[in-house]
Chain A
Amino acid sequence: MSTHQNPPTLPPRFAALQTYIHWSLATETERTRMRNTSQMAEIVAFKDAMLVEVDAIVDYLNGFPLDAMPPQEAALMHMLLSLAEVAPAVEAYRQPGVIDGYAFERFKADETFVMRPPI
């Protein structure tokens, strides 16, 4: 979760990514807001750091069940989901938000939708 007082810690294997722990956000709403309120340079720095480790992160996290991830692994999982969140910013728009797009705050994700996955 995004409590600033107690930022989550990452599994020791990925401790080098702790610098980017503010991208460890549990909901789509938080991740979208983070992307849209960040500078492009911050997004690219996060993306670069994640991308060199992405296959190792996936291999590591695949060893844990999605519906019962321990806190450190869940924190890393949320960073992986943030990497997906910034993909269009990096690979399509070259800016944080959708070019000429509808205001992201108006298009609300239903975080309680009953068919959502566990993480």
Chain B
Amino acid sequence: MNKVIKLHLHDRYPELGKGPVPVEPYISAPYFDKEQAKIFKKTWLHVGRVEEIPKAGDYFVKDLEACEASIIVVRDKAGCINAMHNVCSHRMNQIVYEKRGQARKFFCKFHGWAYDLEGKLTGVPEEESFFDLDKCDHGLTRVACDVWQGFIFINLDPNPALSLAEFMQPMFRDIEGYPFDKITTGFQWSTVVNCNWKLALDAFQEAYHVAYVHGRSIADAIDTAADGAMPPLDALCGEFHRRLSIAGNPKSVYGNPNAVTAGGAAAQQAIADSATAKPIAAAALRAGLGSATHQFRKEDLPKGMNWTGHDNWLFDINVVFPDFYLSLRPNYFQAYNFRPLSQGKTLLEARVYYPEMKTAGGRFYLEYMKVALRDVLLEDLSTLERTQSAVQTGVKKEMLLQDFELLVRHGAHVVDRIVNEETKA
């Protein structure tokens, strides 16, 4: 067990204050309009991973209500990834109807206009009947697109205030080199939750709720202090982004994910401790040992991971502004987007990625870990609509945050700064 830790995280960030935080931004339609204009149409948004479109012509389409846009993301013949609006230059039909696929060119199904994988207009049926048409002037409208550590980001602003590297690196440079490219088995779920996007994200930005919301499931996977609390190891706040580091209980299968790839004493202890109370968990870990296609040693991770150097470190939460939750563990990671559809509606796209497993036993272990995580998400989601309804009653104007909820405060602060000032994200 940890000693009782009094971190006073807030003392490092006096500009955030310690007072109550207003809830008006969670229910105000005019506030949401400003978020759309000043944040979602102006900043870098995560849309997927490079492994989803490995070959030239592979593409997917992202509908981004928060930006009032539909974006085609495609790999071209040179291997570059391009993003463009899904709007034909002729009479504005959507070029692509499918969610993902493979194309040599994109043909508009309305009048057959053709575009190449860079968005250039290459073919116009009955071209001679148009008036002074120069195809060079009428390609698909491109949006900014760049890749950080295999994550594809787009920015609707054609001239972003910051490059993607400038946006990411002040907070995340020292986690570059995390083995994303070895963690290539993915699962995805989606749901539309009737709540504000910030309210949804907030539920994932602190561990104060774990003992209660997750009391029956994975609370035993988190390291617990002598007084029963689950304080974070540390928290970091930047100009836009934020991070939280959490310790696990290495005696539990779920709290010691590297047991499956490291094996040895760590695995034997987790199996022994789970054998009676959680025999399926123990069986899954036994089955998974030795199946992963790669080794994942904690000492090989970039220095920004587990930045406090804690022996029982379990994972770091990374919140990439505005709505991307990226939780990195020793050998698997979660990537969630809390993307607004409107002021009170949020599309959650939740993805989890594991190393590829060579055997049936390894696949069984992955299914155990995935199902446990999915059920934890069902627990997390259970409060959101209830909270949104309660906020909308208007009886409470402010929320009270404790020291370990620093990331919730920081999130509210950054959004409010951008919405109410003339700074650009």
> Which A residues fall within an 8 A CB radius of B?
28, 47, 51, 54-55, 58, 61-62, 64, 66, 69, 77, 80-81, 83-88, 90-93, 98-102, 104, 106-110, 113-117, 119
Please give me the 10 A-B residue pairs with the lowest Cβ-Cβ distance, nearest first. Answer: A115-B186, A61-B360, A102-B381, A84-B367, A101-B378, A87-B280, A110-B188, A58-B361, A84-B368, A113-B188
Of A64, A90, A101, which is in contact with the most chain B CB atoms at under 10 Å from its CB? Answer: A101
The residues of A that contact B51 with a CB separation of less than 8 Å are 115
Interface residues on B, range: 35 or more
**Which residues of B pack against A, CB within 8 Å?**
49, 51-52, 100, 184-192, 216-217, 277-281, 283-284, 286-287, 351, 353, 356-361, 363-364, 366-368, 370-372, 374-375, 377-382, 384
CB < 8 Å neighbour of A58 from B192, B278, B360, B380: B360
Using known A-B contacts A47-B280, A54-B287, A62-B359, determine if residue A81 contacts B367 with beta carbons closer than 8 Å: yes
CA distance A99 to B368 in the complex (A): 18
**Contact call A66/B378, Cβ cutoff below 8 A:** no
Residues of A within 8 A of B189 (CB): 107-110
* CB–CB A113/B382 < 8 A: no
B34 CB → nearest A CB, Å:
29
Q: Say which residue of B186, B371, B378, B380 sits within 8 Å of A84 (CB atoms).
A: B371
Is A117 within 8 A of B363, CB to CB? yes
Determine the chain A residues whose CB is within 8 A of the CB of B217 once the complex forms.
88, 92-93, 98
C-alpha spacing A87/B252, complex, angstroms: 14
In-complex Cβ contact of A109 among B52, B187, B375, B378 (8 A): B187
- Complex formed: what's the CA distance from A28 to B49 in Å? 22
Assembled-state Cα–Cα distance A69/B406 (Å): 49
Q: How far apart are the CA atoms of A94 and B19 in the complex, in Å?
A: 41
B280 and A117 within 8 A (CB): no
- Return chain A residues, CB-CB under 8 Å to B283: 51, 54-55, 58, 83
Nearest to B49 among chain A residues (CB) is A115
A99 x B216 contact (CB < 8 A):
yes
Q: Which of chain A's residues have a CB closer than 8 A to the CB of B188?
A: 109-110, 113
- Most B CB contacts (10 A, CB to CB) among A47, A69, A90, A102 go to A102
